[in-house]
């Protein structure tokens, strides 16, 4: 039985899965160190050793790319993508799935949560890019600074949420986009949910 991974270990395992699935070969220690900003490979080796001990990978200490996923066929499960959400101008959330995406089984999906594909670059400074898949939890109350999915009339946007007295602002993470102030222009405004996760595939569709 596998032991639960730490958050850092999950991110590294997710990266390993994406590299192996997307490129057909595992990353080197240097690749992993560069991606996560580690200054030396010893840190990477420590994390890989822990991930291996918990049963998720097998590796050879003599080869830089000798990393093998265990139970590889169980690492991904198909999940429906319910629509596109705009990091920019509003887009439509469709009532039925428009696509499916294979998420790693380690990706956390809270109860009642759903997936949307981001289109646009207004959240680029929050490291959310066009083509990314966001995991949206509809059961949380929004707090200032959280990234939310909101409905403006019949379209949806993904922005940072701020409530100031009687005014709500939806703020981008890109200076090229203006803040959206919620007023009488948006009588049907509502918060659909809070973004609780982001999944980026090496083979994602550009947004």
Contact status, residue 114 vs residue 83, Cβ threshold 8 Å? no
CA dihedral (25, 26, 32, 36) in degrees, to 10, reads: 80
Catalytic pick among 159, 172, 190, 205 = 159
Q: What are phi and psi of 8, to 5 degrees?
A: -65, -45
* Residue 122 annotated to the active site: yes
Active site (annotated) includes residue 113: no
Closest C-alpha to 117, from 99, 97, 131: 131
Which of 59, 79, 113, 122 is catalytic? The answer is: 122
d(CA 5, CA 17): 15
- Residues annotated as catalytic (active site), given as ranges: 122, 159
């Amino acid at each position: 039985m596998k032991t639960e991974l730490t958050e850092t270990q999950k991110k590294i395992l997710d990266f390993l899965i994406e590299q192996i699935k997307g490129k057909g070969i595992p990353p080197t220690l240097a690749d992993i160190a560069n991606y996560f900003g580690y200054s030396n490979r010893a840190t990477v080796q420590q994390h890989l050793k822990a991930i291996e001990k918990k049963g998720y990978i097998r590796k050879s200490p003599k080869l830089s790319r000798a990393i093998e996923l265990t139970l590889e066929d169980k690492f991904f499960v198909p999940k429906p993508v319910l629509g596109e959400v705009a990091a920019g101008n509003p887009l439509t959330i469709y009532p039925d799935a428009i696509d499916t995406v294979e998420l790693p089984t380690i990706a956390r999906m809270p109860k009642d949560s759903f997936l949307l594909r981001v289109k646009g670059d207004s959240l680029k400074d929050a490291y959310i890019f066009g083509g990314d898949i966001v995991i949206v939890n509809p059961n949380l109350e929004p707090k200032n600074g959280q990234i939310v999915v909101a409905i403006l009339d019949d379209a949806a946007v993904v922005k940072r949420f701020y409530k100031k007295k009687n005014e709500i602002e939806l703020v981008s993470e890109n200076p090229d986009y203006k803040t959206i102030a919620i007023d009488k222009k948006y009588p049907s405004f509502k918060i659909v949910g809070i973004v609780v996760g982001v999944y980026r595939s090496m083979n994602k569709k550009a947004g």
